[in-house]
Amino acid sequence: MHEQFDHDSHWVSKHVESGLFGINNPLFVSVFKFSLPWNILSIVYTILFWDSISVSFLYASVLALTWVNIAPYLIWFYDERVLPGFFNHLGELIPDEDIRDGIARKYNHFFAQHRISVATFWTIATVAIIYVSEPALQSQGMVGVGSVFLWTTYAYAVYVGAILSHGFVGPVTTILLVREVTNYELEIDPLHPDNLGGLSNVGYVSIRTTLLFSSASLILPLLFYFSSSGGVSEVIFVFAGVYILTTLICSSEYFVSGVRNWLQDGQQRERG
């Protein structure tokens, strides 16, 4: 769609983009390539231990599993649609195509790297949450014969932390990107149809990044369940707090960048 400014891709995006059995729908491919094992395990566990599963745990688990299913798709969407689309429309503010292409290459590459530091942090976080929440899981049948599902839950946590945590890099990418763009002399048009001098594209990438990243809040009900059912609340809330705080920081950063651009627009109008 915006191939001109799509210079690099994260490996998750490449797998989603490559299709499956001739099917190229990215959401379908995302679910079947990345989430099918976890869906099957969840169904088997639910069938075998239906009598042991509480309704609140079931609902919270379904919400978390929903996010796990769509997370690879969201990584692909940010990588292959949001970023290239932003660079394509950035021409209204930065007409020089070489400059835009240079920025695109830089941040395409930045997001395409799977950072070990991020994966390690969130893997430790997810595994720690499962560890301190074992009593809650054992009360749902994951004890005795069912303990095999406790170990698959640990594997599940490693997958979420090591692979899906890359979505955490999206907000960082957008913050750095917006900051760099605002350092250039922007061609702000007071008569632009968006009534924002052409700055709506900055809002486009900021809002979409926030929406994609905040989708992980679907896991929060499960964390609250763990906390209320015997889990060590201090550990659970520390990592949940890191996620929530990051979301707030990102939203604040986008707002500040928007105000900065608005002030620059006002100064240019006064000079004009």
Residue 148: CB atoms within 10 Å: 12
CA distance 192 to 198: 6
The DSSP string of 39-74 is HHHHHHHHHHTGGG--HHHHHHHHHHHHHHHHHHHH
CA distance 84 to 179: 17
Do the Cβ atoms of 17 and 68 come closer than 8 Å?
A: no
Q: What is the reported pLDDT for 114?
A: 87
Q: What is the reported pLDDT for 85?
A: 85
CA distance 12 to 44: 27
Based on its alpha-carbon atoms, the radius of gyration of the chain, rounded to whole angstroms, reads 21
pTM of the shown model: 0.86
CB-facing half-sphere around the CA of 140: CA atoms within 13 A: 26
Instruction: Find all residues with CB under 8 Å of 251, minimum gap 6, and list them.
Output: 210
Q: What is the reported pLDDT for 4?
A: 67
Closest Cα partner for 159 from 9, 10, 8, 12?
A: 12
Mean pLDDT of the chain: 83
Residue 211: CB atoms within 10 Å: 11
Dump pLDDT digits (tens) for 154-185: 999 999 999 999 888 888 888 888 888 877 66
Q: What is the reported pLDDT for 84?
A: 87
Residue whose entry in the numeric block shows the structure tokens 């994260």: 10
pLDDT lower than 70: segments of the chain: 1-5, 184-201, 231-232, 250-272
Kindly report the three-state secondary structure assignment for every residue of 148-207.
Answer: HHHHHHHHHHHHHHHCHHHHHHHHHHHHHHHHHHCCCCCCCCCCCCCCCCCCHHHHHHHH
Residue 167: CB atoms within 10 Å: 23
- Letter for the amino acid at 35? S
Do the Cβ atoms of 129 and 229 come closer than 8 Å?
A: no
